[in-house]
Structure 1
């Protein structure tokens, strides 16, 4: 049976989100739904509300690294070293963490890397291509992190920065 159809919903908090129904439904439920409904969207369609948010795959690892490098490059001369997100093996990170990307016209323009820990959801990395900065993508990704934390029943979202704590 083909389980490649998708469902979507609109949430005022995070915009358009896509969920792969076969991951949450058994075969009989999928068969019933696929017989009654045709997919109207896929996870790669640009919508009128902006870039599409989707879960990253290992195939995205090189692009994730490139977006991260571009986003953090300006900090290298300021802090005197590459920030940690520029040193990560994103093939491993995609497997071990929750990485969601924003895609515009089939191109990844921003990402957020999340790590559920006891009591909180850690934002390990948030990066936006410089050409797309200032358009609310980071804000949208942080709102998405709040939603993910709620899904995991975690009461806090933690974001570390390279700024010294005073």
Structure 2
């Protein structure tokens, strides 16, 4: 595994070794000892899998309680994946980093606790899988507006069309009004 720095020190792109031939491929997607050494993350306790159609944007989400670190990847299709630093004491507070994750590039993104996270589906559909360091706690979930002017995220919207959002994402907080971490 190769851990690649992003513009935000704690957010890492993870590239894995892929061994393939005419029969297919093999790759090790997670190794606890190496991951812990590189990130210092808590152990993962929950795995999730979602499928979304092109133009769907999920996020930007985080939990105030049972805060989750997430190791995310795409097993079918492609997404633009974004992490936003919500830690007020961080030198990168309010900064966002975005990367394309796809079944082709097989990249993963480590999004630590204290970050809002979201993704936009760029292909006909995408299947998105991720590991979490804590359990889902819907009562403390927060959504930050995907198009907040202060965050200025450059989403690669297909044909410039606005994304499809859930009700909670339509009613999301502005970055300025969203609860933050210390």
When normalised by structure 2's length, the TM-score is 0.29
The structure with more radius of gyration: 1
Structure of higher RCO (CA pairs closer than 8 Å, 6+ residues apart)? 2
When normalised by structure 1's length, the TM-score is 0.31
> Normalized per residue, which structure has more helix?
1
